[in-house]
Amino acid sequence: MGTNDGISPEFSRGEKDVPDPSLGIPADAAEDVIISIDHITKVFSNHQTVTAVSDVSFNVRRGEIFGLLGPNGAGKSTLIRILTTLMKPTSGTAHVGSFRIIEDDEKVRGIIGVCPQNSTLDLELTAYDNLDFYGRLLDVDEDLLDKRIWELLGMAGLSDRAYATAGTFSGGMRRKLEIVRAFLHHPLILFLDEPTIGLDPDARREVWRQISLLNTEQTTIILTTHYMDEAEKLCDRIAFMDRGRLITLDTPENLKKAMPGGDLLEIGIDGPAGPALPLLQRYTSINRVEVKDSLLVISSNQGNSVLPQILNDLESLSMRVTSISIRSPSLEDVFIYLTGKGLEESVPGEIRAKGGH
Ligand code: ADP
């Protein structure tokens, strides 16, 4: 057994109904809250003052995959560094499990696993030795370490490469090894900072599968990403951050439902689409119609049910339909709606010249 409070290699996620404060689970946790963030602000004061995180408060529930989504410079990594005790906030506080991030930092470190953005694997060591070395650093019980390493190599699909050096691995394999490494000591909470940055689409999908698999052990997973497809695919709930601030927080479905306009129907016409406008304007379920030459772009809260009626109308006008597509608003649409800009746009935190206003 490790010497750190809160590390218990034998701890099984199956025991989750029996909260134990020594494992960092608050016995009186409301709604199964595992992280509560209370008005955290972080200001960097070098040659200029940057408010990287600005008065952020929210809770993370036990067992969920929680996404922090925002463009580069939004403050995601800074918030993760604070929650993982690598950095102190300028003001505010947070509880991770039942521990306070500033006063109980060592205990917090005992119940979390962290996979940073930049690789920290030793490329000259084998996959097995990378895990073994890290397990010893974490003080995982030697009698349990070997079994756990093989379990994790199996989860990562790397059992047959256990004795190959990490330097011979693809980017995706390295990333998976690094993710399971953070999982060696059965952390209650796993922090992943941009887990698929720089990976090709196949490797990204592999890593997603890996993350979902780890979540089946009921570990809470917090990940930062600026890829909306990643957040949408993996996360139970998503917090949008921009310029250090929390913009909104909800499930991907609810975030999209909150967009006015609903589904987007795109109907291609063999000829000018303008003559259809007067007929379409009769529908109360249609919020907006845009004509782009021979394309009708219609936003409606009931896209599926209104589509057949629109097709009838077009037929009555002898307008031939050449294409139809119907899509829900994406998280990117929601982000643009809320902030006026896309996720790929790099936006620095709030910057002021030192001494300026
Ligand atoms: P994200 O992870 O969303 O890309 P970061 O948390 O890395 O955002 O950065 C938020 C803002 O804080 C950026 O403007 C960044 O330049 C600034 N920043 C981050 N770390 C430091 C630091 N150590 N010193 C000064 N400024 C920093």
Q: Kind of pairing, strands 263-269 and 295-300?
A: antiparallel
Q: Look at residue 259 and tell me whether its pLDDT is greater than 80.
A: no
Q: Look at residue 243 and tell me whether its pLDDT is greater than 90.
A: yes
What percent of the chain clears pLDDT 90, i.e. is strictly above it?
A: 50
For residue 244, which of 27, 58, 44, 41 has the smallest C-alpha distance?
A: 41
Q: What is the DSSP letter of 328?
A: P
Shared domain check, 290 and 170: no
Shared domain check, 156 and 284: no
Question: What residue type is 341 in one-letter code?
Answer: K
Shared domain check, 324 and 180: no
Q: Return d(Cα 221, Cα 213) in angstroms, integer.
A: 11
Shared domain check, 83 and 18: yes
Does ligand 1 lie within 6 Å of residue 75's CB atom? yes
Model pLDDT for residues 87-139, shown as the tens digit of each residue: 999 999 999 999 999 999 999 999 999 998 888 899 999 999 999 999 998 88
**Ligand 1 atom having least distance to the Cα of 53:** 10
Confidence grade of residue 343 (pLDDT, cut at 50, 70, 90): low
pLDDT of the residue at 20: 45
Ligand 1 pocket mutation pick from 50, 241, 335 by most atoms within 8 angstroms of CB? 50
Q: Return d(Cα 194, Cα 223) in angstroms, integer.
A: 7
> Is 195 within 8 Å of 77 (Cβ atoms)?
no
pLDDT, average across residues 290-308: 83
Shared domain check, 146 and 24: yes
Helices 142-155, 201-215: inter-axial angle, 10-degree rounding: 130
Model pLDDT for residues 17-36, shown as the tens digit of each residue: 333 444 554 444 455 899 99
Structural domain contains residue 3 = no
Shared domain check, 149 and 31: yes
**Ligand 1 atom having least distance to the Cα of 75:** 6
For 183, the 3-state DSSP assignment is coil
Q: State the residue range of the domain holding 274.
A: 260-328
Angle at 27 between CA 22 and CA 30, to 5 degrees: 140
User: Distance from the CA of 90 to the center of ligand 1, in angstroms?
Assistant: 14
Dihedral Cα 91, 92, 98, 99, nearest 10 deg:
0
Does ligand 1 lie within 6 Å of residue 337's CB atom? no
User: Distance from the CA of 180 to the center of ligand 1, in angstroms?
Assistant: 27
Classify residue 19 as exposed, middle or buried by CB count within 10 Å of its CB (0-12, 13-18, 19+).
Answer: middle
Q: In the structure encoding, which two tokens stand for residue 106, read together?
A: 């060592």
Does ligand 1 lie within 6 Å of residue 135's CB atom? no
Q: Return d(Cα 27, Cα 12) in angstroms, integer.
A: 17
Domain limit, last residue, from 233, 256, 279: 256
Task: Report pTM.
Answer: 0.76
Shared domain check, 272 and 252: no
Shared domain check, 227 and 292: no
Classify residue 301 as exposed, middle or buried by CB count within 10 Å of its CB (0-12, 13-18, 19+).
Answer: middle
Does ligand 1 lie within 6 Å of residue 52's CB atom? yes
CATH classification of the domain holding 282: 3.30.70.100
To which residue do tokens 């689970």 refer? 25
Shared domain check, 247 and 171: yes
Model pLDDT for residues 176-217, shown as the tens digit of each residue: 999 999 989 889 999 999 988 888 888 888 889 888 888 876
Q: Return d(Cα 118, Cα 280) in angstroms, integer.
A: 53
Q: What is the DSSP letter of 6?
A: T
Q: Look at residue 250 and tell me whether its pLDDT is greater than 70.
A: yes
How many folded domains does the chain comprise? 2
For residue 127, which of 104, 150, 145 has the smallest C-alpha distance?
A: 150
